[in-house]
Structures are given as structure tokens and as C-alpha cells.
Copies of this chain bind each other. A is one copy, B any other.
Amino acid sequence: MASNNGDVKLIGAWASPYVMRPRIALNVKSVEYEFLQEQFGSKSELLLKSNPVHKKIPVLLHNGKPICESSIIVEYIDEVWSSGPSILPSDPYDRAVARFWAAYLDEKWFPNVRAAPMAATEEAKNAAVEQLKEGLALLEEISKGKDFFGGEKIGFIDIAFGSMLAWLRALQVMLGGVKLLDEEKTPGLCKWAAKFSADPAVKDVLPETEKIIEFAKLLVAKIKAAAASS
């Protein structure tokens, strides 16, 4: 779609938290874009050509130029459409803190969202759940006294963490009712999650928990089958 934003396309898939990040960021900036969805289980020529190193979604195509890796895309969106609300804070220290938590979520926390339902033993599952709870306790601490991690509006940490919210909710159900977002232990995060999910930039991007559960079951079955046959 050509507009005064230039030609903006996003290669992705509705269920991927990493794809939700640039979608939310584009919404925050009121940038129109064409959403090119990959088919589950295959990779399009456009994706392979646009991200030959990782061959992964999301890829943002801006006037034909590809930008890869979800957090890098969000920073790009923030820098290019700088007339819209800022996603990263303006102070360098606050920016470093926001980048720190986004990296923490990707490297340390989210792998446990994947690991928990895939765990081969009860012990491994419990270890993943414990690490998820530890991470949520850290996030609860830094969320205190604010509407969003970014202050009064959605910022970098909100997008990094919020993109994982639908999967976190699905995980609670898939693990038989384990409480991760807990009104007693993480009241700040519960409040934040409700506010974030209802935000106009977010509400049409976050899928319903039931849809994620259905998709996650397919995914877990596929990964387990692949592991068993290798």
C-alpha cells in the first residue's frame, strides 16, 4: 500500500509474538501497512529473499528494503516515524534500561514459555515455570506506580513483553491452571495486562487465548513429532 508513509509491508503470521511487536509499533505510529502472512509450515520466496540469514519472520519491507529481527524493527519504526509518539525513552539511560529488559525477555524469559509445555519431565516443566515466575517478579517490581512500563503510554518494554501476553495466558491454561499472572503476587502486571490489551494500538493485534491454545497444540505436536523422527 503506497501512502505518505512510503510503501510498508510486514511479512509475518498472526500467532507470532515477534510479529506482534512491529504490528503494535506501526499502530502506535499510525502507519498503514500491508500484512503479508506466511503459511504455517512453509516459507515464501519473498521471506527467503528478504531474510536470507535467518529465514525468519518478522521482516518489515519499507520501500522495498528489508529490516529483520523484531526489536530492531521496532527501533527502526521509532526512528523513521519520529513524528508519532516515541516508543523508546529520550534519555540515554532510560533507553539502555528499556533495551536491557527487551533483551532479557528474549534471551532468558520467553524461552521458558516455549519450554514449559514441551518439557519431557515434570521436573523440567516446574523449573521452566519457576523461571517464568522469577521473571514476572522482576517485571512486577519495575512496573510499579506506572500505567505502562513506558510511563503514561506504551513503550519499548510494553511492546516487548506485551507481545508475549497472549501466549502467557494460553500457557496458564495449557499447564492446567498454573497462575503466572497472579492478582496477589503480580497485581501491577495484572493491571498493566488489562490496560495494555485494551489499548487501541494493541487490541486487534493480540489474538484470543483460545485461538493461541489451538495453534500451540498443533505446534507442540509438530515439534514433538519432528523430534521423535530425527
Contact = CB atoms under 8 A, between A and B. Distances in A.
Interface of A: 53-54, 62, 65, 67-69, 72-73, 75-76, 79-80, 92-93, 95-96, 99-100, 103-104, 108, 138
A134 to B, nearest CB: 10
**What secondary structure prevails in chain A residues at the interface with B?**
helix
A73 B54 CA distance: 25
Nearest to A77: B92
Contacts of A103: 69, 72
- Copy number in this complex? 2
B96 A138 contact: no
Contacts of A104: 53-54
Closest 9 CB pairs of A and B: A79-B92, A76-B96, A67-B96, A72-B99, A80-B92, A72-B96, A76-B92, A68-B100, A65-B93
Given A76-B93, A76-B95, A80-B92, A138 B53 contact: yes
Contacts of A80: 92
Interface centre among A80, A92, A95, A96 (most CB of B within 10 A): A96
A49 to B, nearest CB: 15
Contacts of A72: 96, 99-100, 103
A158 B41 CA distance: 36
Nearest to A53: B104
A112 to B, nearest CB: 15
